[in-house]
Amino acid sequence: MSRLIVWRHGNTDWNANHRVQGQTDVPLNALGRQQAVDAAELLIKMKPDAIVSSDLHRASDTAAALAALSGLSISYDKRLRERYFGAWQGLTMPEVAELYPDQHTRWTSGQEVGGDVESLADLGKRVSEALHAAAGLAPPGGTVVVTTHGAAARQGIGHLLEWPLEQLRTLRALQNCHWVELTHSRERGWQVAAYNVGPFTDRPVPPPV
């Protein structure tokens, strides 16, 4: 049985301030760097065979903490980037609600936002394609760790599992530096083995954007 670990990056100042990051290349802050180290010390016990990461620095620098422990090199895949949020990027959600009320209403009700915000369908397709590609980097029965982003992780996993949007919305947002463990076998296909696993944190969960 093969294993795929889908790992959200560590905390950033924009996470802390509840700003929409999207594909803006915001770096990890001090807390995020420590979270990456703490998480890597747990993930190394899973004996990863390969590490794949989004090329945005908050993800790649998170992956680097595991690479340092494992000695593995990191492969980069732009398809693992966060959802593109267009004009929302850099805004807080109250600012989005004020400037783009119709889009915000669709967002809160789980509908496609429209405008220049990437659709959930497109996001799920590109991230799941990257997850499939990453899974192929390990030998049969091996483990691949994929470092990505909150919305990208959830939508990509949902597409991979062929879950309807209504089911996917029942999942809580991944906390910073937490992960989803997926397993794959010929008989059962992809299955969720664990969700929102990671180092202890007592901080509120930032939005997955």
* Domain membership flag for residue 202: no
Mean pLDDT throughout 48-57? 98
Residue 201 has pLDDT above 60, yes or no: no
Query: In the annotation, is 9 catalytic?
Result: yes
- Total H helices, total E strands in the chain: 8, 6
- Total Cβ atoms within 10 A of residue 44: 15
Catalytic residue among 18, 82, 95, 132: 82
Catalytic residue among 9, 104, 149, 159: 9
Range of the structural domain that residue 127 is part of: 2-197
Q: What is the pLDDT of residues 146-157, one digit of tens each?
A: 999 999 999 999
Mean pLDDT throughout 194-204? 77
- Cite the annotated binding site by residue number: 8-15, 58
* Domain membership flag for residue 54: yes
* Domain membership flag for residue 204: no
* Domain membership flag for residue 208: no
* CB-based contact 63:37 (threshold 8 Å): no
CATH number of the domain bearing residue 137: 3.40.50.1240
Q: Give the pLDDT of residue 200.
A: 73
Q: Give the pLDDT of residue 77.
A: 98
* Domain membership flag for residue 22: yes
Count how many domains the chain has. Answer: 1
Going by C-alpha positions, the residue among 27, 43, 7, 3 that lies closest to residue 147 is 7
Query: In the annotation, is 82 catalytic?
Result: yes
Q: Give the pLDDT of residue 166.
A: 87
- Cite the annotated binding site for substrate by residue number: 8-15, 58
Q: What is the pTM of this model?
A: 0.93
Q: Give the pLDDT of residue 207.
A: 53
